[in-house]
């Protein structure tokens, strides 16, 4: 039994070494160092404080792209319209891990009809002049094949017009499509469309921005902004929501896989990377139970480095 110990072998308090400790001084030093480190890292790696992108700002900055996107929503040819679950039942759509279709398993949880939800319903909710009311009536009365023909013809004409400007579209049989998209552009530029897409859920307090974000993402304007800020999938860029710092560097492990094959060239990249990250997370959780890996700290004796003061004291103490 060591000197100064009880019969149970537990050392008494006087047996432990003591030294003066200024807690206020230590806290002050730590606070100053952390503040300086935070400010420095924020200056180097912070997210730019960008203004929010809305349907209104998009339509005012690039009205041609907004109109082209509105036509694709009306014709059911946009990315959202053909996405599949959880938005719609598009045959063959959805990413898979091998034979397992993850999106199909989840089902359609947020049903979205782009023509009705993004164009027709917002127009019906707003006070409309007779010309627009007649256009809505003509659209609703037409069969789906006729609607598809109108939107396809107008989309092709927009693509051929200078700068895709609706004012320079060649004459053709476009039905009510030009009137509907022109009025939708007016609503967007006034800022009303953002609010109308939010109120479609019928709730008083609106926090679900799914519809306006999907509409925005179907155009090229938002993607071009991301590209210019180095935020595209192949640019390694990451940005937190507006006003938060210092960004999201912790996501590098997730975005890393998008930069290498076979993921970057796969149509199922999202599903494959999700599965890989789930597997890696499971391995991390199970590290204490995996033979060999759990013994690495003992083999490397890293614990003796962490608790070096204790082992030095053990070596000095008399036996």
**What is the per-residue pLDDT across 228-239, written as a single tens digit (0 to 9) for each?**
888 877 777 666
pTM metric for this prediction:
0.73
Q: What is the pLDDT of residue 208?
A: 81
Characterize 38-51 residue by residue with b for buried, 16 or more Cβ atoms within 10 angstroms of its Cβ, and e for exposed: eeeeeeeeebeeee
Round to whole Å and give the CA distance between 244 and 150. Answer: 45
Backbone angles phi, psi at 100, to 5 degrees: -90, 115
Q: How confident is the model at residue 3 (pLDDT cuts 50, 70, 90)?
A: very low
Q: Which helix (H) or strand (E) holds 101?
A: strand 100-101
pLDDT digits (tens, 9 = 90+) for 238-259: 666 544 555 566 677 888 898 8
Question: Does residue 107 surpass a pLDDT of 60?
Answer: yes
pLDDT digits (tens, 9 = 90+) for 20-60: 778 899 999 999 999 999 999 888 877 667 788 999 999 99
Question: Does residue 318 surpass a pLDDT of 70?
Answer: no
- Residue 5's SS3 state is strand
Residue among 213, 221, 211 at smallest CA distance from 114: 211
Q: 168: which residues sit within 8 A by CB, 6+ positions away?
A: 161, 162
């Amino acid at each position: 039994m060591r000197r100064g110990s009880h019969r149970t072998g537990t050392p008494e308090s006087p047996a432990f070494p003591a030294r003066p400790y200024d807690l206020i001084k230590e806290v002050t030093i730590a606070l100053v160092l952390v503040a300086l480190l935070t400010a420095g890292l924020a200056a180097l790696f912070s997210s730019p404080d960008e203004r929010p992108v809305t349907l209104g700002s998009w339509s005012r900055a690039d009205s041609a792209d907004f109109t082209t996107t509105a036509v694709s929503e009306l014709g059911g040819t946009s990315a959202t319209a053909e996405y599949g679950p959880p938005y719609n039942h598009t045959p063959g759509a959805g990413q898979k891990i091998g034979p397992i279709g993850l999106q199909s398993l989840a089902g359609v949880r947020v049903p979205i009809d782009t023509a009705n939800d993004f164009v027709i319903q917002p127009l019906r909710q707003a006070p409309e002049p007779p010309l627009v009311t007649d256009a809505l009536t003509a659209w609703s009365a037409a069969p789906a094949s006729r609607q598809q023909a109108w939107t396809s013809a107008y989309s092709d004409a927009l693509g051929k017009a200078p700068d895709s400007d609706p004012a320079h579209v060649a004459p053709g049989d476009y039905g009510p499509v030009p009137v509907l998209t022109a009025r939708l552009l007016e609503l967007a530029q006034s800022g009303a469309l953002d609010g109308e897409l939010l109120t479609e859920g019928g709730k008083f307090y609106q926090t679900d921005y799914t519809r306006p974000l999907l509409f925005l993402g179907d155009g090229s304007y938002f993607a071009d902004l991301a590209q210019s800020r180095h935020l595209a999938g192949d640019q390694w860029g990451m940005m937190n929501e507006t006003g938060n710092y210092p960004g999201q560097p912790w996501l590098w492990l997730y975005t890393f896989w998008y930069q290498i094959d076979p993921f970057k060239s796969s149509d199922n990249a999202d599903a494959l990377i999700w599965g890989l990250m789930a597997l890696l997370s499971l391995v991390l959780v199970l590290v204490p139970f995996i033979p060999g890996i759990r013994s690495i700290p003992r083999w490397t004796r890293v614990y003796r480095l962490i608790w070096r003061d204790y082992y030095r004291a053990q070596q000095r103490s008399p036996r």
